[in-house]
A and B are shown apart, each in its own frame.
Chain A
Amino acid sequence: MPYGYNGKILHINLTTGEMTVEEPPESFYRQYMGGSALNLYYLLREMPPGVDPLSPGNVLAMSVGVTTGAPVSGQSRLTVSAKSPLTGAIGDAQSGGFFPAEMKFAGFDAFIIKGRSPKPVYLWVHDGEYELRDASHLWGKITGEVEAILKEELGDEQVEIAQIGPAAEIGVRFAAIINMSNRANGRTGMGAVMASKNLKAIAVRGKEGKKNFTVANPQALSELARRGAKILPESDVAGLAKYGTAETTGAQQAMGMLPSYNFNSGVFDEWEKIDGTTMYDTILRGAAEGKQDLRGRDTCYACTIRCKRVVEIKDGPYQVDPHYGGPEYETTSTFGNYCGVSDLAAIAKANEICNKYGMDTISCGATIAWAMECFENGKITLEDTGGIELRFGNAEAMVKMTEMIARREGFGDVLANGSHRAAEMIGRGTDEYLITSHKQEAPAHMPQLKRSLALIYAVNPFGADHQSSEHDGAYEGDKLSYPERMAALGLTQPQPKLSLGPEKVRFARITQYLYSLMDSANVCQFVYGPAWQLYGPQELRDMIEYVTGWDVTIEELLTVGERRLNLLRAFNAREGIERDQDTLPKKMFDKPLEGGPTAGIAVDRQQFEAALDEYYRQNGWDVETGNPTRFKLEELGLGWVADQLNL
């Protein structure tokens, strides 16, 4: 086995049941590394353009990275890619947990899944062995039940399971793939694709693989891991560790950047009720005994941060089972401030429903918030909702609608298509209230107030995404918080707030390459990054060398990220998706924010369009279409992609 990775990719044809193992050379791994770069290599080669995302012709690729499973924080990540049933473009989603490391130990770096099984099946992979098994008895069951049944059936509590829930089975377009019953490859509907293949679950176990896992420089890696644990308490991820991602709620509110009431405002007066510190004090498991640090925080394989939440509510109208984890900041926002809801128990309940049934909390909560604004404006009526007062602030209606979406009941059947398609189905001017880019609902960071993020939301190939670049605050002000980390990327000229000139575009583009690399090497963006993360770009480079033995440079890593971005854009170009779709929802241009310190601010359309031109130019793409050029693709070793695009 090479250092860090298996060198084996499992190809699965569910139509025929045939499975084959491919062993690509080291050069392939160094060029693509894993994650969505590796996934796209196969999607582009094995899927023609124009395929229906829910047909057997779609290809579902699941990859870990070359460092997954190493004993250091932030390496246990899984990326799933396929054509998205939500957006019609490339779909891409990441998750953490213990599944990714166990998949590596089980003997494979990627699963490339084609066709459709004639009956429900699950894939069982253990210590290099693999088989498809009948899953008829699992179909229709929620994630926690499936997890218990499979662990019993396979006779091993340590088996890790990635699965779809009932929401995917009935075609919710933002259905997720869930592992550990509480970690989600959430975005772009990858669960719906898996369900369309009659693949209920993938179970992995690698007893021997874990024992035999080797890295190139164990001593240096161990030193890096120890250093991370040592600096954590004084680092800028200490709050993330203790209070979870929702720790940031108060700061977002203070800056007028907490997206509220379907992005009409940057402030939510009741923010403190749903803040991460409140969650810690009240509903985190163990809070009553002051033992939440011990019992209410979970982690991913070998990670020292322990940012994951475990919520337990035993009384009241919204009881929550800790097996399904707890809400992230994105989730407290979409079900909370997006919807004007300040009932933290209700938000935790909605999160539980999403994890039980297998749905993306961002698209689900944001779609409900969109419907609430439509209702407030009389575009959606009680007749549509079946008598539910779908108003901002109505926690009961929010939870009810989450359940109805999961089961496609009543108006939930419409919302299960995501807000963009629901607006097309309903009409009546409901598209005026959308907050989607590339048909995907925006996560909880505001383009109005972060202009480089406005650009990235628009150009990101799989729709609005907050984890595809560093945010503006890291490159603004007189004094950078992390000048050395930024300098390692060649970013030394911080820009004024709300600017989007060439240097800010360069910041967006370079950090997009870095984040793109992180979704290929498959590492956590809370652990490695250019600013507030536990480790900076230099330690990321070091870690990859210590694990693989490759003497990589930061420049080489950025090129891997750029390669992945070009592969994603090329996929969309094949589908006829071009510059005209690289935009923001019109309300973000036309409707100034209301209330708080950011009242009156909207995205400047002229500034935005000029930045788009600049972004395409800096990327070496065609400014008219926004598509990669042959020159750029060949420079990245992707001449075969240029051939596909007939460039």
Chain B
Amino acid sequence: MQIQITLHGILRDALPPEARGRTALTLPAGATVADALLALQLKNTTTAAINGQQVPLDYILHDGDHLHLFRPIGGGR
């Protein structure tokens, strides 16, 4: 299955600048958010969200999902 990825903020630095934080991943059926983070070599403290909802590391991804990844955000920023 294929999922779309958008890396926000400093996480975009994990990709070449011209990608502007956007990429796609092909993962086996049953792959989780943790698998996507591993593929992108990102820490498992990264916040993941799909359609505006935060999803846990063991969330099973579905073909066509658009996964947004960012560092924890909080007040004042």
Contact = CB atoms under 8 A, between A and B. Distances in A.
A251 B8 contact: yes
Contact of A529 (B8, B52, B74): B74
Contact of A254 (B10, B49, B75): B49
B10 A526 contact: no
B11 to A, nearest CB: 8
Contacts of A243: 9-10
A597 B52 contact: yes
A303 to B, nearest CB: 15
Interface in A267-299: 272, 276-277
B41 interface: no
B30 to A, nearest CB: 20
Contacts of A551: none
Interface in B32-77: 45, 47, 49, 51-54, 56-57, 68, 70-77
Interface residues of A, number: 45
Given A254-B68, A277-B21, A531-B72, A248 B52 contact: no
B77 A598 contact: no
B6 A248 contact: no
A435 B41 CA distance: 42
B74 A250 contact: no
A251 B74 contact: no
Interface stretch (A140-148, A234-242, A376-384, A616-624): A234-242
A48 to B, nearest CB: 34
Given A243-B9, A277-B9, A277-B12, A251 B73 contact: yes
Contact of A597 (B10, B53, B75): B53
B52 A532 contact: no
Interface stretch (A27-35, A351-359, A470-478): A470-478
Given A239-B10, A247-B9, A477 B54 contact: yes
Contacts of B6: 250, 254
Contacts of B75: 445, 453, 466-467, 469-471, 515, 525, 529
A236 B71 contact: yes
Given A277-B21, A525-B76, A481 B10 contact: no
A634 to B, nearest CB: 31
B70 A471 contact: no
A514 to B, nearest CB: 11
Contacts of B53: 597
B52 to A, nearest CB: 2
A571 to B, nearest CB: 23
Nearest to A251: B70
Contacts of B74: 470-471, 473-474, 529, 531-533
B34 to A, nearest CB: 12
B5 to A, nearest CB: 11
Interface in A580-617: 596-598
Nearest to A250: B8
Given A243-B10, A247-B9, A481-B45, A473 B77 contact: no
Nearest to A247: B9
B72 A473 contact: yes
Contact of B71 (A239, A245, A272, A533): A239
Contacts of B20: 272, 277
B77 A329 contact: yes
In the complex, which of the residues A255, A445, A598 has the most CB atoms of chain B within 10 Å of its own CB atom? Answer: A255
Contacts of B54: 255, 473, 476-477, 497
Given A250-B6, A251-B68, A473-B72, A245 B77 contact: yes
A272 B12 CA distance: 13
A479 interface: yes
A256 interface: yes
Contacts of B9: 239, 243, 247-248, 250-251, 276-277
A533 B70 CA distance: 15
A445 B75 CA distance: 8
A238 B46 CA distance: 13
B73 A252 contact: yes
A275 B9 CA distance: 8
Contacts of B12: 277
A142 B7 CA distance: 41
A330 to B, nearest CB: 9
A478 B77 contact: no
Contacts of A272: 20
A402 to B, nearest CB: 23
A270 B68 CA distance: 17
Contact of A466 (B21, B47, B49, B76): B76
A445 B73 CA distance: 11
A238 B74 CA distance: 14
B72 A254 contact: no
Contacts of B49: 254-255
B10 A255 contact: no
A478 B56 contact: yes
3 shortest interchain CB distances as A-B pairs = A597-B52, A239-B10, A250-B8
21 contacts: A236-B71, A239-B71, A243-B10, A245-B77, A247-B8, A250-B9, A251-B71, A254-B6, A254-B68, A255-B54, A255-B68, A272-B20, A277-B21, A467-B75, A474-B74, A477-B56, A479-B57, A482-B72, A515-B75, A525-B76, A533-B74
Interface of B: 6, 8-12, 20-21, 45, 47, 49, 51-54, 56-57, 68, 70-77
Given A254-B8, A276-B9, A479-B56, 9 more contacts: A239-B11, A239-B71, A248-B9, A251-B68, A251-B70, A254-B68, A277-B9, A529-B74, A597-B52
